[in-house]
Amino acid sequence: MATSTVPAVAILTPEMSASATWLQLMWLASPALPVGGFSYSEGLEAAVDSGLVTNEAQASDWLVDQLHLVVGRADAAVVAQAVPAWQAHDVARLTALNDWVRHTRESAELRQQTEQMGRSLVEWLKNRASDERVAVLAAFSPAPTYPVAFALAAAQAGATPEQALLSFGFGWAENMVQAALKAVPLGQSAGQRILARLAAEIPSVVANALALDDDHRLAFTPRLAILSAQHEHQYSRLFRS
């Protein structure tokens, strides 16, 4: 007669718990995360169309500037502040951060991107372990934004704000490098060189974002806003922004 055994209950050591957190953050940074990040160039395609980015060096410089001036000063700072807010269940604070992201988007395309990716991440979170905070996120009107949604996913993984930002920054870098490969276009080796440069810049961007308070968060990129608005009417497009 066959017998069955009950598997022993695994006990997570601190080292195992840390590994699980980093695996979750790697998952969140992956281009395979079903939020549609691959379909946006965040103005890069318009820069290519305008002749501002035509080769590897220009693409690399453009993305490094965008990392520091756009991601680091705005969305990364929001993620840094939203992670502890989710941990504290501070809905008022999270609502204010979500509103700030929406109201500071400088074009219709950029606003649609953060809202669409936020909604998609909510659907992904619904397929995971039950968490009442997901319902709070889903209820943000008119939509949850991606940085605030990402912060919840990172908080669920047990990440610190710094860890969350490293994942957020690298995920952004991978998606943007893929956009550059298609839009410029560039080869895979060029893409890896650009990604290596962006990865080297991410720690300083993270440190700066962690230091920003509400009065020093900033979303002001006129040139990118103009390019994004022009992209809405661009004749031939690969990307949604």
Alpha carbons 92 and 58: distance in angstroms, whole number: 42
Confidence band, pLDDT 50/70/90 cuts, at residue 6: very low
Is the pLDDT at 11 greater than 80? The verdict is no
Alpha carbons 236 and 55: distance in angstroms, whole number: 19
Is the pLDDT at 16 greater than 80? The verdict is no
The answer to whether residues 78 and 217 touch, using CB atoms and an 8 Å cutoff, is yes
Confidence band, pLDDT 50/70/90 cuts, at residue 60: very high
Mean pLDDT of 138-151: 97
Question: What pLDDT shows up at residue 229?
Answer: 87
Question: What pLDDT shows up at residue 15?
Answer: 56
Question: What pLDDT shows up at residue 9?
Answer: 38
Is the pLDDT at 205 greater than 80? The verdict is yes
Helix/strand/coil (H, E, C) string of 163-209?
A: HHHHHHHHHHHHHHHHHHHHHCCCCHHHHHHHHHHHHHHHHHHHHHH
Backbone angles phi, psi at 197, to 5 degrees: -65, -45
Mean pLDDT of 40-65: 96
Q: pLDDT averaged over the chain?
A: 91
pLDDT, tens only, 90-136: 999 999 999 999 999 999 999 999 999 999 999 999 998 789 999 99
Which of the pair, 12 or 51, is modelled with greater confidence?
A: 51
Is the pLDDT at 8 greater than 70? The verdict is no
pLDDT, tens only, 168-189: 999 999 999 999 999 999 999 9
Is the pLDDT at 210 greater than 80? The verdict is yes
Confidence band, pLDDT 50/70/90 cuts, at residue 226: very high
Confidence band, pLDDT 50/70/90 cuts, at residue 13: low
What six digits make up the tokens of 209? 């974002």
Domains and CATH numbers, the chain: 41-231 (1.10.4190.10)
Confidence band, pLDDT 50/70/90 cuts, at residue 29: very high
Helices and strands per DSSP (H, E), number in the chain: 11, 0
pTM of the model: 0.91
Question: What pLDDT shows up at residue 120?
Answer: 97
Confidence band, pLDDT 50/70/90 cuts, at residue 239: confident
Percent of the chain with pLDDT over 70: 93
